[in-house]
Amino acid sequence: MERAAALFEYLLRHGDSCLILGHRVAEWCGHAPELEEDIALANIGLDLTGQAEQFLAYAGTLEGKGRDADALAYSRDAWDFRNALLCERPNGDFAHTMVRQFLFDAWQVEAFAGLARASDARLAGIAAKAAKEAHYHLRHSGEWVVRLGDGTAESHARAQAAVDALWEYTGEFFETDAVVAALGDSVPDPAALKPAWNATVDEVLRAATLRRPKDGWTQTGGYAGRHSEALGHLLATMQFLPRAYPGATW
């Protein structure tokens, strides 16, 4: 695979993951369990959407076909999206949302730490700035996972159910494929992020008195455009206006 094409794909993976997860988090706005948490969640949604804009803008520049971040976000169909499948999982209850966020944050922190050292200066710059946000998110989601896991019997059961349901979506982060191979050591090796991710996840799950599921079969395909049914509905909502009024600017 040609390097520029691979980098475009790689940027979409980060950008789309941030975009789709940010969208999910934003769905909570006005409906969170407590007012303070509503505000905190909106901050996370804003950070992720901002990160998405950065990655997608770079992807568009690199592609050189005149597509900006909005064109990429609002006019591709599901099969052209490259987000990790975990990010498109529906919000479910607050435990599902927080466990999803935690599993993602624990990966993103490691991924951005590696990317901040990337030889590509623009990519490194985006990652270095976003890394600070990711650290904050991880602290927030990690603390919630502990509170829910080691809270009441009900919250423990809900948190465990969320971990069990979402676990099969975490393997995707660590897979290597032709895109990553084409980029060589200019981006972090996905598999190499796993030990640090494991350490973070194990520590939090232990504090939360939650059981770590066995690593087994993994849902995968988001990076190649094979998504769950949930993504199409998300996009139908997100892209409604630009599609209903082609040619309009907002």
Residues of this chain that bind other proteins (CB under 8 A) = 19, 23, 26-27, 29-40, 42-43, 45-46, 49-50, 52-53, 56, 69-70, 73-74, 93-94, 139-140, 143, 146-148, 150-152, 154-155, 158, 237-238, 240-242, 245, 247-250
Q: Report, in Å, the least distance between residue 215 CB and other proteins.
A: 27
Given the complex with other proteins, which of 152 and 176 has the nearer CB atom?
Answer: 152
The pair of structure tokens assigned to 186 is 């200019």
Given the complex with other proteins, which of 43 and 218 has the nearer CB atom?
Answer: 43
Long-range contacts made by residues 191-196, C-beta under 8 angstroms, separation at least 24?
192/114, 193/107, 193/110, 193/111, 193/114, 196/110
Q: How far apart are the first and last CA of the chain?
A: 37
Residue carrying structure tokens 């520029």: 4
Q: Report, in Å, the least distance between residue 81 CB and other proteins.
A: 15
Rounded CA-CA distance 39/34 in Å is 9
Q: Report, in Å, the least distance between residue 24 CB and other proteins.
A: 9
Given the complex with other proteins, which of 125 and 151 has the nearer CB atom?
Answer: 151
Given the complex with other proteins, which of 92 and 171 has the nearer CB atom?
Answer: 92
Give the list of residues 6+ apart from residue 247 with CB closer than 8 angstroms, or none: none
Q: Report, in Å, the least distance between residue 117 CB and other proteins.
A: 27
Q: Report, in Å, the least distance between residue 139 CB and other proteins.
A: 7
- Expressed in percent and rounded to 5, the helix, strand and coil fractions of the chain are 75, 0, 25
Rounded CA-CA distance 63/71 in Å is 12
Given the complex with other proteins, which of 142 and 225 has the nearer CB atom?
Answer: 142
Give the list of residues 6+ apart from residue 34 with CB closer than 8 angstroms, or none: none
Given the complex with other proteins, which of 9 and 47 has the nearer CB atom?
Answer: 47
Q: Report, in Å, the least distance between residue 180 CB and other proteins.
A: 26
Rounded CA-CA distance 197/62 in Å is 30
Rounded CA-CA distance 114/10 in Å is 14
Residue carrying structure tokens 């076909």: 65
Rounded CA-CA distance 212/200 in Å is 12
Given the complex with other proteins, which of 131 and 159 has the nearer CB atom?
Answer: 159
Q: Report, in Å, the least distance between residue 162 CB and other proteins.
A: 12
